[in-house]
Chain A
């Protein structure tokens, strides 16, 4: 059976997963996952390896049937539909280009399976190769291409039949940093111009934040938080997300008092007192951990902090110069250490090891989670 021909610039498909559960032997790979992806959305499944993100992708592709739960693509039930009938493009982790076929044959394959005419195939392969800037390499075999070129062929193959949904499984993992950043931009740009829905899997949080409209953070088979990159970075749902996305200082302590607006006062184990925002409901006396982003801490020398800010004092024990940023490790008078990241603007003095530091942190930047 051939899939129906799609209009050239198809609008993206919607994808809905309900109560997906998948187990391999005794290992639960995916636990009760619910997910809705909008048409034209770039959604990333982000998580450490073994968190179930690739399994989820394989269920959407149809390579795996979930033990329970349903998959809907464009609101049509697709749980048990064979992969070749789903009309999905996919870019695999190591590209999975067919080594015995030329670039042209690789890219033409999806069209050939759809019984397109020879002339149409030639035309659309050419267009697609031009789109990924790969003209002139049609007769090469995959092994005669660089990693970046192979990546583009894989992308062309997945887009040549104008699918409404594109799945990408760690597609940039094998490329070096510069090339990876360039491809991130190009993929993002292609996705916006084609209006295609993309579900992207990665364990690289920077990549996820940079490319996605929304990110679903997975851990141990469940989606622990889903939201825009700004949401995830500024309002992590729990300690895991605060740790996995970006950098955080973690100070453990106890809740002293809670008020109605979910702001709270906590005392760290070392005795520092912070005003912060509760990530979960908590009672006074609960053991908690405060997460503070290093770049949200201001390092002051002169001029006191504003009245509502948390302040702390300490001395600098380590200075790490990163070019655009300077990182200071500071030992607080309470004995706890905290990392502060300060942009290196021209004219600013770089502090020395041993010098005194006065820290100011806004209460909304102190996120408080259960231990």
Chain B
């Protein structure tokens, strides 16, 4: 024990209960995720906790079944297309919002961010009506377009911040010294906001990769994504493949976020170093 002033009994109880409270919060947050791990390695034929013994058979099942593999391929394709589309559109929108002199900038910004406010179920229903009229339900592009709208708010937020940190004088300097506006953007602005664009693209990919609701309405039978296939798995098969996939699907965003963090760190590290001529 230290010789510092004796802590009162009440203070000690207070500190103890605070720690218990923190532990409970962490447990509450982590428990569902942690339970998936043993389930994924279950050897049982059904989802059962705790599993009787452990095996890799459900991972094997996932990788050997065509329907699961197709769903994974769809999810990646849709995710990459969404990331690309949302980043290109989002960059253009953010550029206009940050550099433009319009008086309606604030209103436009609110409009672009609005998909965050509209309940996804409402949005999914609306998309369903639209795309069923266009006979596009079950078409991969309907999912790409839907996911792009959902991905735009975070993309625009990230890129607006990126663009705000690039002094407009840098672009003006390019323009006065001979570059037309578009050239100035590609020569000067784009290289400087590139880390922001990569981050934005990762977010967009995750929005798409994560989505079930829109997929439920728009997947049909030909554009089934991984979350949709898992949903079907839980409802129709209840074998532990779902848990195995859940574990894999959980790892991917973790890897992506760690990558993004490392990228940012490297970019900052490069900013500080002194190179020799």
State which residues 272-314 of A face B: CB under 8 Å: none
Whether the Cβ atoms of A98 and B188 lie closer than 8 Å is: yes
- Nearest chain A CB to B151's CB is how many angstroms away? 27
**B173 — nearest CB in chain A belongs to which residue?**
A96
Verify if A140 is at the interface (C-beta below 8 Å from B): yes
Q: How many residues of A contact B (CB 8 A)?
A: 36
* Minimum C-beta distance from A39 to chain B (A): 20
Q: How far is the CA of A161 from the CA of B125 in the complex (A)?
A: 59
Distance A3 CA – B192 CA, assembled complex (angstroms): 27
B12 CB-CB contact with A under 8 Å: no
Q: Is A132 an interface residue (CB 8 A)?
A: no
In the assembled complex, the CB of B276 is this many whole angstroms from the nearest CB of chain A, namely 9
**For the complex, is A193 an interface residue (Cβ under 8 Å from B)?**
no
A100 and B169 in contact, given A113-B178, A137-B277, A144-B274 (Cβ under 8 angstroms): no
Q: Which of B170-209 contact A (CB under 8 A)?
A: 170, 172-181, 183, 187-188, 191-192
- Chain B: CB-nearest residue to A113: B178
A39-62 Cβ-contact flags toward B at 8 Å (1 or 0): 000000000000000000000011
**Selected contact of A83 from candidates B170, B175, B271, CB within 8 Å:** B175
Q: Does B117 contact A (CB under 8 A)?
A: no
Shortest CB-to-CB span from B266 to chain A, Å, is 15
A145 to B174 Cα, complex, angstroms: 20
Q: B277–A136 contact, CB under 8 A?
A: yes
Q: Is A158 an interface residue (CB 8 A)?
A: yes
Say yes or no: is A88 at the interface (Cβ < 8 Å to chain B): yes
Of all chain A residues, the one with the shortest Cβ separation from B180 is: A84
- Is B26 in contact with chain A by the CB < 8 A criterion? no
Q: In the complex, which of the residues A63, A99, A114, A136 contacts B172, with contact meaning CB atoms closer than 8 Å?
A: A63
**Chain B CB within 8 A of A109 CB:** yes
Measured CB to CB, the nearest residue on chain B to A25 is B103
Q: Is A72 an interface residue (CB 8 A)?
A: no
Say whether B180 contacts A96, CB under 8 Å: no
CB distance from B193 to the nearest CB of A (A): 11
With a CB–CB cut-off of 8 A, which chain B residues contact A82? 175, 180-181
In the assembled complex, 19 residue pairs joining A and B whose CB atoms fall closer than 8 Å, in A order, are A63-B175, A82-B180, A83-B175, A84-B177, A88-B176, A96-B172, A96-B173, A97-B173, A98-B173, A99-B170, A109-B187, A110-B178, A113-B177, A113-B179, A114-B178, A137-B277, A139-B275, A140-B275, A140-B277
Extra contacts, 4 of them, besides A83-B176, A93-B169, A99-B192 (Cβ < 8 A), are: A84-B180, A98-B174, A139-B277, A157-B177
B: residues with CB less than 8 A from A are 167, 169-170, 172-181, 183, 187-188, 191-192, 271, 274-275, 277
Which are the 3 A-B pairs with shortest beta-carbon distances? A113-B178, A96-B169, A110-B177
